[in-house]
Amino acid sequence: MPKAVNVRVTTMDAELEFAVQPSTTGKQLFDQVVKTIGLREVWYFGLQYMDGKGYLTWLKLDKKVSAQDVKKENPLQFKFRGKFFPEDVSEELIQDITQKLFFLQVKEGILSDEVYCPPETAVLLASYSVQAKFGDFSKEIHRPGYLTTDRLLPQRVMEQHKLSREQWEERIQVWHEEHRGMLKEDAMLEYLKIAQDLEMYGVNYFDIKNKKGTELWLGVDALGLNIYEKEDKLTPKIGFPWSEIRNISFNDKKFIIKPIDKKGPDFVFYAPRLRINKRILQLCMGNHELYMRRRKPDTIEVQQMKAQAREEKHQKQLERAQLENEKKKRETIEREKEQMEREKQELVMRLYQFEEKTKRAEKDLQEQMQRAMQLEQERRRAEEEAARLEAERQAALLAKEELARQAEDQLKSQEQLASELAEHTAKIVLLEEAKKRKEEEADSWQHRAREAQDDLLKTKEELHMVMSAPPPPPPPPMFEQVDDNSDSEENTSTHSADSAELQTEGINDHRNEEDRLTEAEKNERVQKQLMALSSELAQARDDTKKTQNDLLHSENVRAGRDKYKTLRQIRSGNTKQRIDEFEAL
């Protein structure tokens, strides 16, 4: 029995290992991979490998894996990648797995700078990438530094701005918070909707020359063939939509494209190697087929897939709504619990305050009672002193009377009697004045005693009200409603040729891509976000570190050009005019 061959296939987010037989074809291996990952939109993808000469090549599905020039390793290494890109991700991509694989592949292209992305767009895309990974931002979970281990921006962008990694993370976090409530799958789709408007998105570039020998780039993408000058991969100069091409062929290094207009000249260019022409032909055929398929009614299979995807999305929305409802209920309960705890703390504090107030009132009462007792004692002493003084006065009066009688009866010496009388009279005056003072003092003490008694009664009443008043009831709780490998022909003296006839009948609206708007033009929110980011980053930008692509992009923006406006411009005029323009480059 033939010995099995070990194969490792790396997708954008997983590694798969298989043991295949020497007779296994590329299609059998491909089918095994897509079955394993649950992918049905197989027409976009292919298996890529490094051949014996170090070139990246697409595995031919109709040939045995062992018969192709795969670099000899154990296990054999393949990458499962998107080979053909959709025109409009939101209209074409059906399965979540397809969307995720394209998201990861496009993100890798942007971060590695294979696809040029302006700084403000790079930051906005990074925030969608973070939402796709972490979901909604939460201060409790996403502490400062939660993005430290993530590769978020192209190195070029970070080097062009005087910002630390922490400052970049802060800016991305702010925009991450803006995406609250967005599903991870929707965040990936939003990322792709913005990324597909980038000029280099989904374009395969090839070195070519025209008949004059001018070195140019040929760009092959989902919309057609575009010609770029050597120093500018962002802005194509001439374009040919797939609907204008009826036949593609090559003979050795010469590549011939025949337009639908049979009166028009052939579009001819030259590639440096035969293998390049083989790959160009393969990509042209695949992209042309998908271009035409998009402009025809969906097949039954695609209709079924779309219906299933809608059902699955609806189910997810229901589940998310239920989860959100449960989350809101939990939040309501937590809020009520926190409210009750706050009210409890408030009641405890108020009770403590009542107790303190009561203690102070009792202390004041004791002090006032003591003061009242002191006042009462002072009053009594004043009364006793007044009584004593009265007794003395009475005694003096009696003595006076007695002296008077003696004066009358005994006729003593008038001078002696007058002297004694004057002495007693002065004493009486002094005693009457002292009595008067004591009476006034007694009245004062009596008045102060009455005031102390009134204060005592008032304090008792207040204390009684404080002790007898019930604590206020808590407020009612708030409720919410809740390739391609080099064939032997290239190393032999025989010529190699191949061709493909392209069908263009039965399609609808074949140039609708020329009327498209970018996501920023369609979506006012995205437009405002990009403007805000551009303004914010301008303050930290180091213009001395701008690359050629940065300068080209800035010029395009200044001239009001974008991907689709440029497309309309480079396709204007008839086919002959554009081919003549290509030959003149």
**What pLDDT band is residue 252 in, cutting at 50, 70 and 90?**
confident
Q: Compute the average pLDDT of residues 484-505.
A: 58
Q: Which helix (H) or strand (E) holds 5?
A: strand 5-10
State the pairing for strand pair 204-209/215-221. Answer: antiparallel
Contacts of 444 (CB under 8 A, 6+ apart): none
Mind listing the pLDDT tens digit for each residue in 4-41? Answer: 889 999 999 999 999 999 999 999 999 999 999 999 99
**What pLDDT band is residue 514 in, cutting at 50, 70 and 90?**
confident
DSSP 477: P
Whether the Cβ atoms of residue 209 and residue 270 lie closer than 8 Å to each other: yes
For residue 104, give the nearest of 120, 88, 125 by alpha carbon: 125
Whether the Cβ atoms of residue 254 and residue 243 lie closer than 8 Å to each other: no
Whether the Cβ atoms of residue 343 and residue 471 lie closer than 8 Å to each other: no
Q: Please determine, for residue 107, whether its predicted confidence score (pLDDT) is greater than 60.
A: yes
**What pLDDT band is residue 249 in, cutting at 50, 70 and 90?**
very high
Q: How far apart are CA 312 and CA 317, in angstroms?
A: 9
pLDDT of residue 553: 93
Report the percentage of the chain scoring pLDDT > 70. 91
Report the percentage of the chain scoring pLDDT > 90. 49
Q: Which of 50-64, 206-220, 486-500, 514-528 has the lowest mean pLDDT?
A: 486-500
Q: Compute the average pLDDT of residues 525-532.
A: 87
**What pLDDT band is residue 510 in, cutting at 50, 70 and 90?**
low
Higher per-residue confidence, 127 vs 455: 127
Q: Please determine, for residue 486, whether its predicted confidence score (pLDDT) is greater than 60.
A: no
Q: Please determine, for residue 77, whether its predicted confidence score (pLDDT) is greater than 80.
A: yes
pLDDT of residue 55: 85
Q: Please determine, for residue 483, whether its predicted confidence score (pLDDT) is greater than 50.
A: no
Mind listing the pLDDT tens digit for each residue in 354-389? Answer: 999 999 999 999 999 999 999 999 999 999 998 999
Q: Which of 116-120, 246-250, 263-267, 288-292 has the lowest mean pLDDT?
A: 263-267
Q: Compute the average pLDDT of residues 496-525.
A: 74
Q: Please determine, for residue 477, whether its predicted confidence score (pLDDT) is greater than 50.
A: no
Q: Please determine, for residue 178, whether its predicted confidence score (pLDDT) is greater than 70.
A: yes
For residue 70, give the nearest of 1, 6, 3, 4 by alpha carbon: 6
Structure tokens at 388: 């004593």
pLDDT of residue 404: 82
pLDDT of residue 458: 78
Higher per-residue confidence, 409 vs 255: 255
The vertex-21 CA angle with 18 and 22, nearest 5°, equals 125
Predicted TM-score (pTM) of the model is 0.72
β-strand partners of 258: 247
**What pLDDT band is residue 443 in, cutting at 50, 70 and 90?**
confident
Q: Compute the average pLDDT of residues 229-236.
A: 94
Distances (CA, A) of 584 to 228, 239, 256, 272, 381: 13, 15, 17, 20, 132
**540-571 per-residue burial string, b: 16 or more CB within 10 A, e: under 16:** ebeeeeeeebbebbeebeeeebbbbbbbeebb
Name the range with the highest mean pLDDT among 151-160, 411-420, 498-507, 532-541: 151-160
Q: Compute the average pLDDT of residues 534-542.
A: 87
Q: How far apart are CA 170 and CA 401, in angstroms?
A: 112
Q: Please determine, for residue 75, whether its predicted confidence score (pLDDT) is greater than 70.
A: yes
Whether the Cβ atoms of residue 205 and residue 228 lie closer than 8 Å to each other: yes
What value does the mean pLDDT of the chain take?
Answer: 86
For residue 72, give the nearest of 6, 28, 26, 25 by alpha carbon: 6
Q: Please determine, for residue 498, whether its predicted confidence score (pLDDT) is greater than 70.
A: yes
pLDDT of residue 523: 83
Q: How far apart are CA 198 and CA 512, in angstroms?
A: 18
What percentage of the chain's residues is helix, strand, coil (to nearest 5)?
55, 15, 30
Q: Which of 132-136, 205-209, 474-478 has the lowest mean pLDDT?
A: 474-478
For residue 241, give the nearest of 471, 493, 575 by alpha carbon: 575
Query: Taking the mean position of all CA atoms in its chain, how far away is CA 244?
Result: 44
**What pLDDT band is residue 503 in, cutting at 50, 70 and 90?**
low
Residue 404 CB coordination number (10 Å): 12
Q: How far apart are CA 47 and CA 58, in angstroms?
A: 6
Q: Which of 189-198, 228-237, 571-580 has the lowest mean pLDDT?
A: 571-580
pLDDT of residue 550: 92
Q: How far apart are CA 86 and CA 95, in angstroms?
A: 13
Q: What residue type is 206 in one-letter code?
A: F
Structure tokens at 390: 């009265």
Q: Please determine, for residue 466, whether its predicted confidence score (pLDDT) is greater than 60.
A: no
Q: How far apart are CA 22 and CA 63, in angstroms?
A: 11
